[in-house]
Amino acid sequence: MERPNAWKQYDENAVRALEEAAKGYKDYITRGKTERECAALGVEMARAAGYRSLEEVIAGGKGVQCGDKIYQVQMNKAVMLFHMGKRPLEEGMNIVGAHIDSPRIDLKQNPFYEDADIAYGDTHYYGGIKKYQWVARALAIHGVAVKKDGAKVNIVVGEDESDPVVGISDLLIHLSQEQMVKKASEVIGGEDLDVMLCGRPLKGEEKEPVKAMLLSLMKDKYGLEEEDMLSAELELVPAGPARDYGLDRSMILGYGHDDRVCAYAELRAMMNLPQAPEYTCCCLLADKEEIGSVGATGMQAMYFENAVAEILNKCGKGENIYLRRCLANSRMLSCDVSAGFDPLFASAFEKKNAAFLGRGVCYNKFTGSRGKSGSNDANAEFLGRIRKVMDDNKVCWQTAELGRVDLGGGGTIAYICALYGMEVVDSGVPVLSMHAPQEIISKADLYEAIKAYTAFLTDMGPAK
Ligand code: MN
Ligand code: MN
């Protein structure tokens, strides 16, 4: 039952293709550090591959045919791609879905204050983080501020070599006697994650002169007032590019592998499709998974269903029954990262049912916590068909649970799409140090994920 290491089977050509994919991916997560940036990159890739927006298709007047490529963006934070297939939509789609939000630290709406001649930004963290991991490191600021007239200012500071970076300070070890005996969850409190932004008083300013320096920089560089923070989304993320990891360059260290590695693999798989796939193929890149898939850009919102309804309408099948059939008959991989086995924390895993770095894309029949609570738990019939598609396409794959029973748990978007009655199973790339500012994956698992998602989209079909 032990799965082989994928690297053993690679010839020179495979390693070249793997390195090409790794290079493209490193660029994707270096440029895409927020859900907005990843959505924009997804659209960029789609348009370059001949996709048109759903708005263009609707405005175009003509119907939708096999081979047509359509994308739709939800509020700049979620993206859907559809590549129309030969079969009618009501026979179901082959869907791959991932999320493009990652744990981070957001600036509050009223963030700025001055203390001890330093100007700070107050923050509220997003997603599940070990707060102590985010101090004493270089952070970049990514996001937008929207002015009252609707003008949007894009901000990225801390990525260019010549840019300054910002960060959150930690207490010196010399004075940490009290801090060091605290529980890890209390070492750094949520309200302690205040980011240092400026340290020099503005000349001629009496009251809060360092905060005045910050506000004057904002005004000069971006034309922003302090009040504009009320309608801003500024995210603090680890600064700098994703890099090769390990002396043999077999791995990648970077921010946001969860879940941008699956998002990128999905996008690459969509670009690999034949002009006329058998079934319509769909790629979902959702927002807000890390906080429960809520909100208008999270998977629980109706934008996916609405987009499918619009496409069906363009196919002359606007009646609701076609939508219900299309969704219920679909097959989906909920593509999200899995916990890679970490020998340094072996007791957190049950080794026979753990995912290993380098052994390929991982399938999780179920996730959840305790007695599989909150889990999708895919059907054995569906897994049987997936095994055949994976093996027929020589994909290196493995199965896993998230970790030892009763230790914790997690979820993905799988259970939400399963509500339509479609077949869904979790599949993803194993990650070490998940949710840390810098996470680790194996290049082999990225490469196998692209192969797996391409095979699923191309070859999957309904039960015979
Ligand atoms: Mn995830
Ligand atoms: Mn996560």
- Domain membership flag for residue 245: no
| Whole-prediction pTM | 0.97
Is 267 found in the same domain as 355? yes
pLDDT along the chain (464 residues), means of 10: 94 98 98 98 98 96 94 98 98 98 98 98 98 98 98 98 98 98 97 98 96 98 98 98 98 98 98 98 98 96 98 97 98 97 97 97 92 90 98 97 86 92 97 98 98 98 91
Answer yes or no: do 215 and 259 share one domain: no
Separation of CA 411 and ligand 1 centre (Å): 8
Q: Do 186 and 233 fall within a single domain?
A: yes
Ligand 1 centroid to residue 59 C-alpha, Å: 35
- For every residue of 4-19, DSSP letters joined together read PPGGGG--HHHHHHHH
Ligand approaching nearest to the C-alpha of 434? 2
| Residues 309, 426 within the same domain | yes
Q: How far is the CA of 14 from the centre of ligand 1 (A)?
A: 27
Characterize 190-216 residue by residue with b for buried, 16 or more Cβ atoms within 10 angstroms of its Cβ, and e for exposed: eebbbbebbeebbeeeeebbbbbbbbe
Ligand with minimal distance to 435 CA: 2
244 within a domain of the structure (yes/no): no
- What ligand has the least distance to the C-alpha of 104? 2
> Ligand 1 centre from 23 Cα, in Å?
22
CA 16 to centroid of ligand 2, rounded, Å: 30
Same domain, 288 and 428: yes
* Count of the separate structural domains present in the chain: 2
Distance 350 CA to ligand 2 centre (A): 20
Question: Are 140 and 175 contained in the same domain?
Answer: yes
Q: Using the mean position of ligand 2's atoms as its centre, give its distance from the Cα of residue 285 in Å.
A: 14
Q: Does residue 248 fall inside a structural domain? A: no
Whether 249 maps to a domain, the answer reads: no
Give residue 336 CA to ligand 2 midpoint distance, Å: 8
Domain boundary among 210, 238, 266: 238
Domain shared by 323 and 408, yes or no: yes
Q: Which of 194, 213, 238 is the last residue of a domain?
A: 238
Distance 437 CA to ligand 1 centre (A): 14
Under 8 Å between Cβ of 323 and 309: yes
Give residue 375 CA to ligand 1 midpoint distance, Å. 14
Q: Point out the ligand nearest to the CA of residue 428.
A: 1
From the CA of 338, the nearest ligand is: 1
For residue 142, the model assigns a pLDDT of 98
SS (H, E, C) 232-267: EEEEEEECCCCEEECCCCCEEEECCHHHHHHHHHHH
- Nearest-CA neighbor of 323 among 336, 332, 314? 314
Ligand nearest to the CA of 99: 1
- On whether both 23 and 77 belong to a single domain, the answer is yes
Cα of 149 vs centre of ligand 1, distance in Å, is 35
Let me know if residue 246 belongs to a domain. Answer: no
Query: Are residues 385 and 278 both part of a single domain?
Result: yes
Q: Structure tokens of 28? A: 């994707």
Q: Which ligand is nearest to the CA of 259?
A: 1
Cα(261) to ligand 1 centroid in Å equals: 10
- Could you say which ligand is closest to the alpha carbon of residue 335? 1
3-state secondary structure of 143: strand
Distance 419 CA to ligand 2 centre (A): 21
Domain assignment of residue 232, yes or no: yes
Distance 106 CA to ligand 2 centre (A): 16
Q: Which two tokens stand for residue 239?
A: 């600064």
Å from CA of 259 to ligand 1 middle: 5
Euclidean distance between CA atoms 336 and 97, whole angstroms: 8
Domain edge (last residue) among 186, 208, 238: 238
For residue 197, the CA-to-ligand 2 centroid distance in Å is 28
Q: Which ligand is nearest to the CA of 436?
A: 2
| Residue 301 near residue 75 (C-beta atoms within 8 A) | no
CB 314 within 8 A of CB 57: yes
Assess whether 452 and 355 both reside in one domain: yes
* Ligand 1 centroid, distance to 290 Cα (angstroms): 7
CATH of the domain at 157: 2.30.250.10
- CATH number of the domain at 331, please: 3.40.630.10
Q: Which of 220, 219, 195 is nearest to 118 (CA)?
A: 195
Distance 101 CA to ligand 2 centre (A): 9
Provide the residue range defining the domain that includes 182. 105-238
Q: Are residues 322 and 392 in the same domain?
A: yes
> From the CA of 290, how far away is ligand 2's center (Å)?
5
Torsion of CA 353, 355, 358, 359, to 10 degrees: 40
